[in-house]
Amino acid sequence: MTNESLMQVLNVEEIEAVEVAPGIVRRGLPVTDLARGWMYDFAPGAEWPEVDVHESEERYYVVSGEFIDCGRTLGPGSYVVFAPGSRHRPRTETGARMLGISMIDPHS
Protein backbone atom coordinates (compact mmCIF):
# COMPACT_ATOMS: atom_id res chain seq x y z
CA MET A 1 0.00 0.00 0.00
CA THR A 2 1.40 3.41 -0.93
CA ASN A 3 1.34 6.50 1.24
CA GLU A 4 -0.93 8.16 -1.33
CA SER A 5 -3.61 5.50 -0.78
CA LEU A 6 -3.56 6.36 2.95
CA MET A 7 -4.14 10.07 2.37
CA GLN A 8 -7.30 12.10 1.73
CA VAL A 9 -7.07 15.49 0.07
CA LEU A 10 -10.02 17.81 -0.46
CA ASN A 11 -10.87 21.45 -1.02
CA VAL A 12 -12.81 22.72 2.00
CA GLU A 13 -14.71 25.22 -0.16
CA GLU A 14 -16.19 22.30 -2.13
CA ILE A 15 -17.78 20.75 0.98
CA GLU A 16 -21.43 21.62 1.53
CA ALA A 17 -21.88 24.32 4.16
CA VAL A 18 -24.72 23.57 6.60
CA GLU A 19 -26.19 26.27 8.84
CA VAL A 20 -26.06 25.08 12.47
CA ALA A 21 -27.25 28.31 14.07
CA PRO A 22 -28.05 31.82 12.81
CA GLY A 23 -24.86 33.17 11.23
CA ILE A 24 -22.86 29.96 11.74
CA VAL A 25 -22.18 27.36 9.04
CA ARG A 26 -20.23 24.11 9.34
CA ARG A 27 -18.39 22.05 6.79
CA GLY A 28 -17.83 18.51 8.03
CA LEU A 29 -14.36 17.17 7.26
CA PRO A 30 -13.38 13.48 7.01
CA VAL A 31 -13.88 11.37 10.14
CA THR A 32 -11.56 8.58 11.28
CA ASP A 33 -11.67 6.20 14.23
CA LEU A 34 -9.55 8.71 16.20
CA ALA A 35 -10.88 12.18 15.30
CA ARG A 36 -13.38 14.24 13.38
CA GLY A 37 -12.67 17.54 11.72
CA TRP A 38 -14.81 20.55 10.89
CA MET A 39 -14.63 24.08 9.54
CA TYR A 40 -16.92 26.75 11.00
CA ASP A 41 -17.62 30.15 9.50
CA PHE A 42 -19.16 32.71 11.85
CA ALA A 43 -20.81 35.83 10.43
CA PRO A 44 -20.13 39.14 12.21
CA GLY A 45 -21.96 39.19 15.55
CA ALA A 46 -22.58 35.42 15.65
CA GLU A 47 -22.39 33.44 18.91
CA TRP A 48 -22.48 29.69 19.48
CA PRO A 49 -26.11 28.98 20.49
CA GLU A 50 -25.34 27.27 23.81
CA VAL A 51 -22.43 26.42 26.09
CA ASP A 52 -20.35 23.73 24.36
CA VAL A 53 -19.26 21.03 26.84
CA HIS A 54 -16.47 18.69 25.76
CA GLU A 55 -16.63 15.02 26.62
CA SER A 56 -13.28 14.51 24.90
CA GLU A 57 -10.41 16.74 23.87
CA GLU A 58 -11.20 19.43 21.30
CA ARG A 59 -8.85 21.74 19.38
CA TYR A 60 -9.36 24.61 17.00
CA TYR A 61 -7.25 26.93 14.92
CA VAL A 62 -8.38 30.45 14.03
CA VAL A 63 -7.93 30.75 10.27
CA SER A 64 -9.27 34.30 9.88
CA GLY A 65 -11.13 36.98 11.80
CA GLU A 66 -11.35 37.11 15.58
CA PHE A 67 -13.12 34.92 18.12
CA ILE A 68 -13.89 35.89 21.68
CA ASP A 69 -13.73 32.75 23.77
CA CYS A 70 -13.46 32.32 27.53
CA GLY A 71 -12.82 36.06 27.88
CA ARG A 72 -9.91 36.13 25.41
CA THR A 73 -9.73 37.66 21.94
CA LEU A 74 -8.20 35.13 19.54
CA GLY A 75 -6.94 36.24 16.14
CA PRO A 76 -5.59 34.41 13.11
CA GLY A 77 -2.96 31.86 14.04
CA SER A 78 -4.40 31.18 17.51
CA TYR A 79 -4.47 27.49 18.37
CA VAL A 80 -6.77 26.48 21.23
CA VAL A 81 -6.85 23.14 23.08
CA PHE A 82 -9.72 22.20 25.40
CA ALA A 83 -9.36 19.30 27.83
CA PRO A 84 -12.17 16.79 28.40
CA GLY A 85 -14.78 18.32 30.71
CA SER A 86 -14.08 21.89 29.58
CA ARG A 87 -16.75 24.23 28.25
CA HIS A 88 -16.95 27.39 26.18
CA ARG A 89 -19.25 29.54 24.02
CA PRO A 90 -17.31 31.24 21.21
CA ARG A 91 -18.54 34.40 19.54
CA THR A 92 -17.24 36.99 17.11
CA GLU A 93 -17.86 40.65 16.45
CA THR A 94 -15.94 40.73 13.15
CA GLY A 95 -16.75 37.36 11.60
CA ALA A 96 -14.28 34.48 11.74
CA ARG A 97 -13.33 31.03 10.47
CA MET A 98 -12.04 28.17 12.61
CA LEU A 99 -10.66 24.76 11.71
CA GLY A 100 -11.31 22.23 14.45
CA ILE A 101 -10.55 18.70 15.50
CA SER A 102 -12.51 16.73 18.07
CA MET A 103 -10.85 13.63 19.41
CA ILE A 104 -13.02 10.50 19.55
CA ASP A 105 -12.96 8.58 22.82
CA PRO A 106 -12.35 4.93 21.85
CA HIS A 107 -14.08 3.83 25.08
CA SER A 108 -17.41 5.48 24.35
CA quadruple 106, 12, 91, 31: dihedral, nearest 10 = -10
Q: How many domains does the chain have?
A: 1
Q: Please report, for the domain that includes residue 92, its CATH number.
A: 2.60.120.10
Q: Is 108 within the bounds of a domain?
A: no
Is 7 contained in some domain?
A: no
5 in a structural domain: no
Residue 6 lies inside a defined structural domain of this protein: no
- Reported confidence tier of residue 3, pLDDT bands at 50, 70, 90: low
Mean pLDDT, the chain, rounded, equals 90
Q: State pLDDT tens for residues 93-104.
A: 999 999 998 888
State the burial class of residue 106 (Cβ atoms within 10 Å of its Cβ: 0-12, 13-18, 19+): exposed
From residue 73, how far is each of 24, 65, 76, 96, 104 by CA, in Å? 18, 10, 10, 12, 27
Residue at 64 is within a domain: yes
Whole-model pTM?
0.86
The string of pLDDT tens digits covering residues 43-58 is 999 999 999 898 888 8
| Residue 2 placed within a domain | no
User: Is residue 5 scored above 80 in pLDDT?
Assistant: no
Range of the domain at 86: 12-103
Assess if residue 3 is contained within a domain: no
Rounded Cα–Cα distance for residues 84 and 18 (Å): 26
Q: How far is CA 24 from CA 20, 43, 53, 96, in A?
A: 6, 6, 18, 10
Predicted local confidence at residue 52, as pLDDT: 87
Give yes or no for residue 29 having a pLDDT over 80. yes
- Residue 106, pLDDT > 80, answer no
- Give the model's pLDDT for residue 107: 64
Q: Does 94 reside within a domain?
A: yes
